[in-house]
Chains A and B, each alone.
Chain A
Amino acid sequence: GAGVSQTPSNKVTEKGKYVELRCDPISGHTALYWYRQSLGQGPEFLIYFQGTGAADDSGLPNDRFFAVRPEGSVSTLKIQRTERGDSAVYLCASSPEGNSPLHFGNGTRLTVT
């Protein structure tokens, strides 16, 4: 079946602009995660959804970052007033429930110029 899909695969934006990154999880997966990965480092946790609710948003770096999952499937990560330090690969993962392996998408490479 289809895996986790992330769009766009690449996004270049100017400093100060607003961006939205989309994640389509595997159908039926209730758990959804957003991570951020910088070059040469492991992914850094941002936020976790169980169904429609953000069960843990402790990894969001500041209030410029926000994520939603209104119908318990597709999720959107929103970044306001982007800064050059936001440049990274943003990864989305899903799993059937909390104790199962994570399935990752290929990520969105965000570049803020």
Chain B
Amino acid sequence: KQEVTQIPAALSVPEGENLVLNCSFTDSAIYNLQWFRQDPGKGLTSLLLIQSSQREQTSGRLNASLDKSSGRSTLYIAASQPGDSATYLCAVRPGDYGQNFVFGPGTRLSVLP
């Protein structure tokens, strides 16, 4: 059974810092991995999707990497801003083309002005 963990559970940084969020999964047979952002009381917003054949994806100040063989992904946020404060979740799609995405518990990020 696929399990997804995220470290740290919470992170507080001053504005302007670069930071890395970690996601680990137990079964390396995945189809793709997505990073999401969730604001309090809201749904999830997709940030980046990495296919299993890719190593990284970039969007603006965000860069996500994937090392499928070791079961790890990282989300790098450059020059953090207070508006980046949110919970960040990763989710993996099973490699058997299943649609039962498995989510991690999230990392709660606070960027202090």
Task: Please give the residue numbers on chain A whose beta carbons come within 8 Å of chain B beta carbons, in ascending order.
Answer: 4, 31, 33, 35, 40-45, 48, 50, 55-56, 58-59, 91, 93, 98-107
Knowing that A48-B99, A99-B32 touch, tell me 8 more A-B residue pairs with CB under 8 angstroms: A33-B99, A41-B105, A42-B105, A48-B100, A56-B99, A102-B34, A106-B41, A106-B43
Which of the residues B36, B51, B98, B103 comes within 8 Å of A44, measured between beta carbons? B103
Task: Please give the residue numbers on chain B whose beta carbons come within 8 Å of chain A beta carbons, in ascending order.
Answer: 4, 31-32, 34, 36, 41-46, 49, 51, 89, 91, 97-106
A-B contact count (CB 8 A): 62
Q: List 25 A-B contacts (CB under 8 A).
A: A33-B99, A33-B101, A40-B105, A42-B4, A42-B103, A42-B104, A42-B105, A43-B44, A43-B103, A45-B102, A48-B100, A56-B98, A56-B100, A59-B100, A91-B44, A93-B43, A98-B97, A98-B99, A102-B36, A102-B44, A102-B46, A102-B91, A102-B101, A104-B43, A107-B42
Most buried by B among A31, A55, A93, A101: A101
A35–B101 Cα gap in the complex (Å)? 10
Most buried by A among B31, B42, B103, B105: B103
A58–B99 Cα gap in the complex (Å)? 10
**Given A101-B46, A102-B34, A102-B46: A31 and B105 interface contact (C-beta under 8 Å):** no
From B103, which residue of chain A is reached at the shortest CB distance? A42
A17–B51 Cα gap in the complex (Å)? 43
Contacts of A43 in B (CB 8 A): 44, 89, 91, 103
Contacts of B103 in A (CB 8 A): 35, 42-44
A59–B41 Cα gap in the complex (Å)? 23
Tell me the smallest distance from the CB of B92 to a CB of chain A, in Å.
11
Contacts of B51 in A (CB 8 A): 99
A62–B89 Cα gap in the complex (Å)? 26
A4–B45 Cα gap in the complex (Å)? 11
Contacts of A107 in B (CB 8 A): 42-43
Which of the residues B31, B43, B97, B102 comes within 8 Å of A91, measured between beta carbons? B43
From B9, which residue of chain A is reached at the shortest CB distance? A40
Q: Are A101 and B41 in contact (CB under 8 A)?
A: no
